[in-house]
Amino acid sequence: MNYELQIISYLCTEFVEDMRLRHSLLSILGLLLPLMASAQKVNPSATYIDDDNNTVDTTEDFTAQAPLDVTFRANPEDIGDHTVAFEWHIRKNDTAKDLVVRYEEETQYRFVESGTFSVILKARYTDTDVELDSAVIKVTISESRLEMPNAFSPNGDKINDIYGAKGVNDPNSSSHWRSIVEFHGYIFNRWGQKLFEWTDVSKGWDGTFNGSPVKQGVYYVLVRAKGADGREYNIRKDVNLLRGYTKETGTSETE
């Protein structure tokens, strides 16, 4: 082999080595890229029942009223054969103190206080110890509100037929109750006899006692309740039970 050929041979070897190196680098990159790309692969969602009784499934921040049961899901994507460790931190008003920490892919939490809460999800691969991006959903629990009406008309026309918190006959009412976490209502007649009691704010009295309609007249309501914001409600008032209003006659003795 002459000198020139030796040089060419050397260069060829270098070239091949170089290609091998490049190939190796690309192979390593090829292995790393999925790991790097997977650093975005949790997309937590929240599922809850809203004020209109619809089931909402969202990945956005939201406002609702207490008591509120929420199911949070991590929704890991494209994780292949990796094992993922999840960590949920629920904190109030961005304080660093955790109300709870949970270690599961899907977790439930009941919000009973007003305010804004951060629900933080951290996730990592346990096999490679690669951290996945953390994500936050902010949940705002509204201030409480509770009003009791002065009258109702249990005559079967589907208008104000139930005596209960404002909003019980009209879910779209602007004075609809909000964030009531404890409720106890009692109905008495004028002799102080208890005719009805209820503990679900979304329910009420239909104007009957022992299965029979009571007479038109004045009754009394007593309500003790507590809001998610700590507000306590003590409401006593007269309740006018009126049966006169019907759709047919259109006469209004109630409103």
Instruction: Tell whether residue 153 is a contact of Ca ion (CB under 5 A).
Output: yes
Residue 161 Cβ vs Ca ion, minimum distance, rounded to whole Å: 4
In the bound complex, which residue of the shown chain has the CB atom lying closest to Ca ion? 153
How close are the terminal C-alpha atoms of the chain, in Å? 114
Nearer to Ca ion, 107 or 153 (CB): 153
Residues contacting Ca ion: total by CB under 5 A: 6
Q: Are residues 76 and 49 in contact, defined by beta-carbon separation less than 8 angstroms?
A: no
Burial of 88 (0-12, 13-18, 19+ CB in 10 A): buried
The interface region with Ca ion, picked from 36-44, 62-70, 131-139, 159-167 by CB under 5 A, is: 159-167
Question: Is the bond into 67 cis (omega within 30 degrees of 0)?
Answer: yes
Instruction: Tell whether residue 157 is a contact of Ca ion (CB under 5 A).
Output: yes
Nearer to Ca ion, 230 or 244 (CB): 244
Instruction: Tell whether residue 206 is a contact of Ca ion (CB under 5 A).
Output: no
Residue 236 Cβ vs Ca ion, minimum distance, rounded to whole Å: 24
Whole-number Å distance between alpha carbons of 59 and 93: 19
Site for Ca ion in 217-246 (CB under 5 A): none
Instruction: Tell whether residue 155 is a contact of Ca ion (CB under 5 A).
Output: yes
Whole-number Å distance between alpha carbons of 106 and 124: 15
Residue 243 Cβ vs Ca ion, minimum distance, rounded to whole Å: 8
Closest by CA to 205, choosing from 157, 172, 239, 170, is 239
Contacts of 235 (CB under 8 A, 6+ apart): 146, 148, 221, 222, 223, 225
Residues at the interface with Ca ion (CB under 5 A): 153, 155, 157, 159-161
